[in-house]
Chain A
Amino acid sequence: MIASSEEVKLAIIGCGAITQARYLPAANLLPNLTITHVVDLDAETGHEVANRFQIPEFAREYQQVFGKVDAVVVATPPSSHARISIDCLNHGLHVLCEKPLAVSVMEAKAMISASQRSNRHLAVGMNRRLSWSSQISRRLVQSGVLGDIYRFDIEEGHEFNWPLRTGHIFQDSNAGGVLADTGVHVFDLLLWTLGSPKAKLGLCRTDNWGGVEANAVVELVVEWHSRQTPGGVELSFTRELRNTMRIYGDNGVLEAPILGGLEVSLYLADNPVEPVILTPHHVGPRNRVEEFAVQLSKFVEAVLHDSKTYVTADEALATLSLIEQCHYGGERMGHAWETVHLEPFFEGKGNE
């Protein structure tokens, strides 16, 4: 299948929350994109979603779309991202894969190889970069307004409430937990804002007791203009945290909402108490659906005109590597209220 010069035919594989709440509403905003198929192993959900969004075809197996579409969005649970993406790339389809790109660096590298071999685009869903506050933060940091960057500090934490259809975030030790879910966004935003592809893990502490972590505290060093810049990242699925990114430079501190927003604070060194508040003159994407529309349009541009304005799989590698290091080298947080009296309780207490 070759894309016509004006329109891309797309299948969305996986009909979970991200497809229903983001990709399908976003696709409606784009003139040169037609979703021809939705794919899901659960026929009932797939049919319901196809009917609700007026998608012409439903398929139970993704292989059924081969030869019928130009490109796919892979929005299945992360453990199947690599297998499905590689198969689609090998069958000549361009792939936009939801984050996290893969559950390991090795898988991600195999996906990149498949993309190169097949000469097809492999884009990664990293919508957070597209918010106004993320865009302006990167511009300010890159412009040198803050001077030399010497530290960063990011917190993102909420009581988890995303309506998951499958429990992968809570059951998959590689692709689940707050690091793989939230951390993948936060690490990507940090590296992209600083314009650095290089980061090294210092320390990672999580509250994982043998399942998947709900809280993580990470210390890392990012290379910024050949300087080693240290900083911290705190993530939570159970607590409301500050939810901002702070970048500290010699000339001042920038604070931006980590989830994206329309206000960025600049605490300049001459008056660190009263920030300069920046708000947009022209608003770009105003909400998540519009961010996904921009993300899709960049992918459509790539398919139609071979451009590369999307987030590449190579960029995702650094983030995945950090998360992998956290998983392998993480220490356990010890909270007194959790560990108190955990000694075997039944010793001497059971039936004689």
Chain B
Amino acid sequence: MNRPAVHFLLAGALVAATAAAQAAPSVSRLVPPSELFASNNPNPPVIARFLPGQRFDLQATVKLDAGTTLASFEFAVDGVALKPAAGITSVVTTGLTLPAGTNAAVVSQRAYSNAKPGIHRLTVNALQSDGQRTSATGNFEVVALTGAGRKAKNIIILLGDGMGAAHRTAARIMARGYAQGKAHAALAMDTFPSTGMVMTSSLDAIVTDSAPGMSNYVTGNKAANNQEGVFPDDTADAFDNPRVEYLSEYLHRTQGKALGIVTTADVFDATPAANAVHTSNRGNGTGIVDQFLDDRGLTGLSVLLGGGRKWFLPNGDALKADGSRNGQAVNGSQRDAKTDYVLPADLVAGWGAAPGAKDPGRDLIGDFQRAGFAYAPDRLGLAAAGDADKLLGLFAYSNMNVAFDKINKRRGVSTVVDDYGFPDQPMLDEMAEAALKVLSKKKQGFVAMIEGASIDKQAHLMDTDRWLLEVIEFDRAVQVAKDFAAKHPDTLVIVTADHECSGAAIIGASTKPVATIRAAAAPADGASAPSAATLRDPVVGVYQAAKFPKYTIAADGYPQSTDVDYKMLIGYGANADRYESWLANATPTQDSQQPFVGQAPQSGYPANPNVRNQGAGFLVTGQVPGDQAVHTATDVPLSALGRGSALFSGVMDNTDVFFKIALSAIRGTK
């Protein structure tokens, strides 16, 4: 990559390059993105917005004429040319993702900020080596934070991944029960005083994935699908994209707050990463987990709990010089150079970020420990680490097992977690409690993101009973946060989702005892195979036929069984082909990321929803291709409690949430 620091000051107004007789240079991308640049619309609300002083990168892609080079460039804000410090600008002309043969330069100025509220005009001016000039203009807004009052010292974001209104309602019906049209009790998240609806779209589509779904909440800006903490660019490097400062980074830099991340997914997954890591490829696991630790000085990372141990194990690097094998432990590490990161110098200089290294041989657990983190590999270890100042917990090789299987292991009726190799995994509420215990010691407060990750993952798989218990587990973590806020009144707690998943719908309830469903799903020899005529038409009770399904809740807080007489029935509006039996699946669907997958006993698990319950259910033809349900663009509910919670009502964009949190933390509310 060619990254000389180049900038210059233009004197006077530029002459339009189109006046030239020959082809002229042009600007094809200007960052931050704006409708002023894209469609010449100067007005909000479609505009990039930032907090006063929030840092973000300026970038432009300049298309050059063949045979020319970029002589110089500058950015100007409100007509005033910027004067960047040495080393924080760059010109990239190689490794671009533009069509072959395109002569272009990607020019950047890192870590810009603006303290003055209002709409600002951003201009890039570029000079081609033959003397032709080009410029382009966009805009961005610095949001005024008004008001004053008691500040939220602690911010807790509980993120139910993929949790739409139907998921919440279904969990309430199962966990609390209804009679005469009323719920016997509310979920913990139902008790929050403020509720709103959130629009979840990403920068480039109405339907988001989890990377922008989370990132948008904590940067105040729209990210593109698969990207987190960055704006799109035209380079192939996934770690050099123009950055936007995260909530965690902003509040750590300005207030000294710590960051805690808790998830039931692999910690490299999009939602956890989109609180601390900047990349345009959510799949780059090695670099993502490295950046968690390397940039803890920017984010204040103090707690990281979840799955994903495979990214933290040292991977062998080479044969010995004599040709013998190197003796590196065969540990299942998935670290590799391709998914690792090295940052360009201007980004390091501008942000004060760690430069990174392609180091698959890194012992990242050891590095966390050397940085003062206690390491918990299981539930017992988590309980023992309660007094730690910093805490790393990696409870699974990849994603953690789901609540359905964890709780049935504790009840002694399932060995699924043993099949995965991790028999003693904590529940999400236990992880939340441990995390908040550590974070509560932080004198300047903290930002915590606690994710129920497999609400989404099981909804993708249309495994109804498993995502239902995921929501119940998540709500128990909500209760932990609510209890914390009761003891620490300067705490803001938000419960929401990054998007809805699967188009889940509570269609009614079974009109038959579960034994009847079981008989229809496993017909005797010679009897009719399961079909709509045997398993749908006589079973699905709609409207008043649904009545009020009743579940028995065990002392551990989860239903004794989800296969009850007259059970609640769920349909999917964004489904792939599948077979519906209405019964709980004894085992989860195979997950290629898990150890021992494809081997007995996991080889006996369903391969995917296309074939799961084949012969035991009736075929439901999906509206989407593939074997999984998909995310939808449906708005999601948001509930808020504690300091500043009154701000969170009405219908809001996901980027609005960022500014409401910031207002609570920076100015305070009455």
Q: Do A and B come from one complex?
A: no
Residues of B within 8 A of A (CB): none
